[in-house]
Amino acid sequence: MRARALPALALLAGAAPAAAQDVPVRRVATASALSTEPIGAVTGVRELPDGRVLLNDGARRRLLLLDTTLRAVGVVLDSLAEVENAYGTRPGALIPYRGDSTLFVDPASYVMLVLDPAGKVARVRSVPRVQDVQWLAGQGGGAGVPGTDGRGRLVYRVPARPAPPRVRPPRGVPWIPQDPDSAFVVAMDVEARRLDTLGAVRTPKRALVVRRLPGGNVDVSDKTNPLPTTDDWAVLPDGAVAFVRAIDYRVDYRNADGTWTAGPKLPFPWQRLTDADRERLVDSVRASQRRSATTQHVTQMIRWVNTYRRAYPAGFAVPEGYAMPLGFGRDWTLPPGASFPARYVFACAAGEEPTLQGTTPSCIPGPIAPGGDPPPMPTLREPQVMDAAELPSFRAPFGPGAVRADADGYLWIRPTPARPTPGGAVYDVVDRTGALADRLQLPPGYQLAGFGRGRVVFLAMRDASGVRLARVRLR
């Protein structure tokens, strides 16, 4: 199959210099190959030594083998259950391993498949620690991308554990600790099953709201943090681990021999936030969450009233601008202020099958009403946002999950823009000394999916035919 170029990815090097930085922003180069296989989601990409590619499609639960033109030539792991090469029931993860081999972590069965450099399953083994499987699979919030260090150990992030209370709570009162503000990046020796701590990273501040419900149960929820500040990390091809610090935007390297080196501060347009700025931010987030919560509450109330044949509470009405979701019953009773819009798609009646009218279905299959006693009437919960005094005085230079390491030893960091930027995400590309080497912008609608040797970048995008994978070679 002949490689096709993407017209939308034309190289536009030498764009206008970024504010307060000497390195100009370049838009990525023309793609040399584009996949044609239907893909549900690109959850991992691993280039093999011969240029072929392992594509982890977590949505369809398949591990595909693509040739150098990104044409599918084999199915390494399949979504079918009763086959020898079954993928698993949950999305797995690809981890670069020793000698160009690859690990596939199945978090549902606690199994790691060792794939040889040709992409074939060579060995099956259990995960080193069951309690770490979600972190080893990179599925915890902001967990980062696991890798392998210079000694062949698996590197991943685990949360810190809160210390026990100094004074035990009274009998019957649960102890619900606040999460620590840090986590640990660890190295696991798979053979010896020994865990070593490589370093610590700062994690976003959390504040819990604990409520005791009328029935005696306890409800625990998070306050929204409008300005999460976090460190990040990545494993380089030479086995070093890079720690990107948010407090001053620089990189600390833990080298393969255990020594540490620190890079210079990276340029960033720091924005100081006054007390008034933080108050406005908190008020804006609270107002946005209140609108969302009110919309959700009205939808839940309409479903509850009509599903369980109840009456609306006195004075209940929909807010102005309420957008009614599709799929309500044609005979449903709506509260004051609500009406079905023109060309509304109702739920299918009993025995009715949906048909397409152009691109619009004639009806939507309705949910099956659960049996038993009806649940309590939906309640509107007031949104919880951190107080302005708890927020930092500066905007963080990057957010959770912003750091990736490519196959040539560079770090890709997606900084937080000072103001909305037209186009796709902009990345700071940092060399092995910790200095800024390049700034690259992805096209709109494209996401970073992985890397290959020789300045190769894999991007994921969605068009009318579905999700595609593109290979881009940078200049």
Q: Is the pLDDT of residue 142 over 90?
A: no
| pLDDT value for 15 | 37
How many other C-beta atoms lie within 10 A of the C-beta of residue 281? 17
| pLDDT value for 141 | 65
301 within some domain: yes
User: Does an H or E element contain 75, and which?
Assistant: strand 72-77
- Phi and psi torsions of 315, nearest 5°: 80, 5
Coil, helix or strand for 38?
coil
356 within some domain: yes
pLDDT tens digit string along 239-294? 999 999 999 999 999 999 999 999 999 999 999 999 999 999 999 999 999 999 99
Most confident of 86-90, 207-211, 425-429: 425-429
As a whole-number percent, the residues of the chain with pLDDT over 70 amount to 93
- What would the two tokens of residue 94 be? 């690809």
Percent composition of the chain: helix, strand, coil (DSSP 3-state, to 5):
10, 35, 55
| pLDDT value for 114 | 95
User: Does an H or E element contain 278, and which?
Assistant: helix 275-307
DSSP class of residue 453 equals T
| pLDDT value for 197 | 96
Q: Determine the structural domain holding residue 317 and report its residue range.
A: 277-361
Q: Is the pLDDT of residue 164 over 90?
A: no
Q: What is the mean pLDDT of residues 208-234?
A: 84
- Greater confidence (9 vs 295) lies with 295
How many other C-beta atoms lie within 10 A of the C-beta of residue 468? 21
| pLDDT value for 220 | 81
59 within some domain: no
pLDDT tens digit string along 284-321? 999 999 999 999 999 999 999 999 999 999 999 899 88
Q: Is the pLDDT of residue 219 over 70?
A: yes
312 within some domain: yes
pLDDT tens digit string along 167-197? 887 777 778 888 888 999 999 999 999 999 9
| pLDDT value for 140 | 67
DSSP class of residue 132 equals G
355 within some domain: yes
Count CA atoms closer than 13 A to 72's CA, side-chain side. 17
Beta strands in 170-297 (DSSP E): 182-189, 194-202, 208-212, 218-222, 232-235, 241-245, 250-254, 260-262
469, 42 in Cβ contact below 8 A?
yes
Q: Tell me the residue type at 367.
A: P
Per-residue confidence at 6, pLDDT binned at 50, 70, 90?
very low
Coil, helix or strand for 302?
helix
Q: What is the mean pLDDT of the chain?
A: 88
Q: Is the pLDDT of residue 20 over 50?
A: no
Q: Is the pLDDT of residue 350 over 90?
A: no
Q: Where are the alpha helices (DSSP H) in 127-244?
A: 133-136
Q: What CA–CA distance (Å, rounded) separates 62 from 40?
A: 9
296 within some domain: yes
87, 79 in Cβ contact below 8 A?
yes
Per-residue confidence at 472, pLDDT binned at 50, 70, 90?
very high
343 within some domain: yes
Burial class from Cβ neighbours inside 10 Å (0-12, 13-18, 19+) for residue 166 reads exposed
As a whole-number percent, the residues of the chain with pLDDT over 90 amount to 65
| pLDDT value for 354 | 87
Q: Is the pLDDT of residue 334 over 50?
A: yes
Q: What is the mean pLDDT of residues 356-383?
A: 82
Enumerate helices (H) and strands (E) in the chain, giving the number of each.
Answer: 2, 29
User: Does an H or E element contain 404, and which?
Assistant: strand 398-405
77, 38 in Cβ contact below 8 A?
no
Closest among 41, 28, 105, 95 to 471, alpha carbons compared: 28
Distance of CA 54 to CAs 115, 267, 381, Å?
A: 10, 35, 45
| pLDDT value for 245 | 96
Per-residue confidence at 372, pLDDT binned at 50, 70, 90?
confident
DSSP class of residue 446 equals -
State the total domains in the chain: 1
- What would the two tokens of residue 408 be? 């040539």
Distance of CA 330 to CAs 36, 260, 325, 345, 358, Å?
A: 41, 67, 13, 9, 21
166 within some domain: no
